[in-house]
Amino acid sequence: MKNQKESYRNVSENPCNMCMPLGGIIAFRGIEGSMTLLHGSQGCATYMRRTISEHYEEPIDVASSSLNEKGTVFGGEENLKKGLDNVRLLYEPKMIGVLTTCLAETIGEDIGRITSRYLEERQLTDGLPIVNVPTPGYGGSHSEGYWRTVFTIISSLAEDRMSHAKINVIVPHISTADLREIKRMLRLMNIDFILLPDYADTLDAPYSKPYKKIPDGGTRLEDIRKMPGAKATLEIGLTVEDSQSAGKYLENEFGVPLFRVPLPVGIESTDRFFNTLKLISGKEIPDEISRERGRLLDGMFDSHKYNFEGRAAIFGEPEQVYAVTRLCLENGIHPLVIATGSRSKKLEQLLHAEFAKIDGSPDNHHEKYELMSDTDFAHILEKSREVKVNLAVGHSEGKILTERADIPLVRYGFPVIDRVGGQRILSAGYQGSLCFLDRLTNTLLENKYRNYRSEMYQKYYQIYK
């Protein structure tokens, strides 16, 4: 395996990631009745609302403290407090999430102090939780922002040690369809759970009348408070660093046993998901699930030869990249460029281990592949051309690979902004994996059928002539 260690990079060319507060907004959206306020200048909130709106096709209301020059020079305390007042007036939230931006972090705003003083001043200390998360734009990607926010929500609110039979399920940033599929699978296993964050309804709200400014759904605050008393935590997130892992926090602070599994995408990861659930709950895996698994296997056999022609570039958030790489590997698609805009040591370690298994096997047919962390599309494009990739898997910004190198893109992850239904793309569980695999195979087939007449003509007829 070749590990691409980027030398110190002066310029990022066509970014593969977004900034921390964006991930925070999504995590907060998964809490019932919550509203988010960004402490910084107005543009940040607007940009992130626009990006999230485009993917989820939902109104994304995020307030800003709208820092101007005065607030930047003399401190933004007044702006932040006024912002909180107005958010309460307009939205009547059950919880407010306050995220910082580069600007607030750089001028050294102590949001913890400001918001706690605010709660005292307004005599709200018992009624309205405010969760503060430092998310400087230069501190990491949206993926890190997401995990840090999930962590902070739990570490700020979880308090009740009274034990109960539920299990905590912590999920990475996935589509709402995947979120619903995970809930369906948990219910099929007859498991009582607290899922966090649960934006399945808030980021994919059904049409209803009248319109609700804060949509129904989300993890209930009283459930979050009870997470320390759970039987176990299932954290779907192998790539998350221990220091950012809410599951680890619950284990360290309250002794809740932690089970970490990858996203249930592909047969092995989904097997692991169900086996872990079985282990935690002692419950049997129902027949319906076994049939779904059988159907996935059937589909894998049907399409394996086509998939063997696949040479993939995979990019996006670390957890998703790991999941897709595993799916490709178990179906014979060759992952040749594996990239993330985030910095992820865990992802590198996991993939090293994954590829080491193959490298050690006698029928190793793998070419060299590139693993790139903290990278951009200039590098992804360059490598993809070099190793003649014929399939790209990742978010919409990867369309640059199609535009510049004619590599078809299967859209997965966030954001999907140039197609409809980004929020409804199903890829998790046995059923979702089969849908995903079909999308990959059909893209390869489409490309093949589109080109093979002219290719064969060039290759054989022209020579014969």
Partner 1 sequence: MESRSNLAIEERKDSIQTKGEQTQPFKCNTDSVAGCVSQRACVYCGARVVLNPITDAIHLVHGPIGCASYTWDIRGSLTSGADLFRFSFSTDLQEMDIIFGGEKKLTRAIDDLVAKYHPPLMFVYSTCIVGVIGDDLEAVCKAASKRHRIQVIPVQSSGFIGSKSAGYKAACDALMRLMEPPPGEELEKDKTINYLGEFNLAGELWIIQNYLKRIGIELNVALTGDSSYDTLKLATKACLNIVQCAGSMIYTANQMKERFHIPYMNISFIGIEDTSESLRRIARTYQDTEMMRRTEELIQTETEAIAPKIAYYRSKLQGKKAAIYVGGGFKAISLIKQFRELGIEVVMVGTQTGREEEYETINDLVKEGTVIMDDTNPSELEKFIIEKEADLLVGGVKERPLAYKMGIAFIDHNHDRKHPLSGYAGAANFAEEVYATVCSPVWAYRERCLSTGAKEERT
**Which CB, 85 or 222, lies closer to partner 1?**
85
Residues 6+ apart with CB under 8 A from 289: 185, 188, 189, 274, 430
Least separation in angstroms between residue 142's CB and partner 1 is: 8
- How far is it, in rounded angstroms, from Cα 336 to Cα 311? 6
Least separation in angstroms between residue 107's CB and partner 1 is: 6
**Which CB, 56 or 315, lies closer to partner 1?**
56
> Comparing C-alpha atoms, which of 369, 316, 381 is closest to residue 342?
316
Least separation in angstroms between residue 432's CB and partner 1 is: 25
For the CA atoms of 222, 166, 233, 30, the dihedral, rounded to the nearest 10 degrees, stands at: -40
Per-residue tokens: 314: 């995979």
Give the number of other CB atoms < 10 A from CB of residue 128: 16
Least separation in angstroms between residue 159's CB and partner 1 is: 28
Question: How far apart are the two ends of the chain, measured CA to CA in Å?
Answer: 43
Least separation in angstroms between residue 210's CB and partner 1 is: 8
One-letter amino acid at 282 equals: G
Least separation in angstroms between residue 245's CB and partner 1 is: 22
Q: Are 331 and 437 in contact (CB under 8 A)?
A: yes
**Which CB, 83 or 316, lies closer to partner 1?**
83
One-letter amino acid at 440 equals: L
Least separation in angstroms between residue 126's CB and partner 1 is: 22
Contact positions vs partner 1 (CB under 8 A): 9-15, 17-19, 21-22, 37, 40-51, 53-54, 56-69, 71-72, 79-80, 82-87, 89-90, 101-103, 106-107, 136-139, 141, 205, 207, 209, 211, 213, 341, 397
Least separation in angstroms between residue 127's CB and partner 1 is: 18
* Distance of alpha carbon 342 from the chain centroid: 12
**Which CB, 50 or 357, lies closer to partner 1?**
50
**Which CB, 106 or 447, lies closer to partner 1?**
106
Q: Are 83 and 63 in contact (CB under 8 A)?
A: yes
Least separation in angstroms between residue 458's CB and partner 1 is: 29
| HSE-CB of 42 using CA atoms within 13 angstroms | 3
**Which CB, 80 or 371, lies closer to partner 1?**
80
> Comparing C-alpha atoms, which of 196, 190, 197 is closest to residue 165?
190
Q: What angle do CA 456, 460, 366 make, to 5 degrees?
A: 65
One-letter amino acid at 391 equals: L
Give the number of other CB atoms < 10 A from CB of residue 71: 22
**Which CB, 209 or 453, lies closer to partner 1?**
209
Least separation in angstroms between residue 312's CB and partner 1 is: 23
Placement of tokens 């049409």 in the chain: 207
**Which CB, 207 or 461, lies closer to partner 1?**
207
Per-residue tokens: 158: 């979880």
**Which CB, 43 or 255, lies closer to partner 1?**
43
**Which CB, 9 or 295, lies closer to partner 1?**
9
E strands, 77-221, are: 95-100, 130-133, 167-170, 193-196
Least separation in angstroms between residue 81's CB and partner 1 is: 8
**Which CB, 2 or 209, lies closer to partner 1?**
209
Q: Are 328 and 355 in contact (CB under 8 A)?
A: no
Least separation in angstroms between residue 414's CB and partner 1 is: 12
What DSSP element (H or E) covers 234?
A: strand 232-236
DSSP codes of every residue in 18-30: -BHHHHHHHHHHT
Evaluated on CA atoms 405, 411, 413, 414, the torsion sign reads positive
Q: Are 29 and 199 in contact (CB under 8 A)?
A: yes
> Comparing C-alpha atoms, which of 413, 376, 339 is closest to residue 16?
376
**Which CB, 404 or 459, lies closer to partner 1?**
404
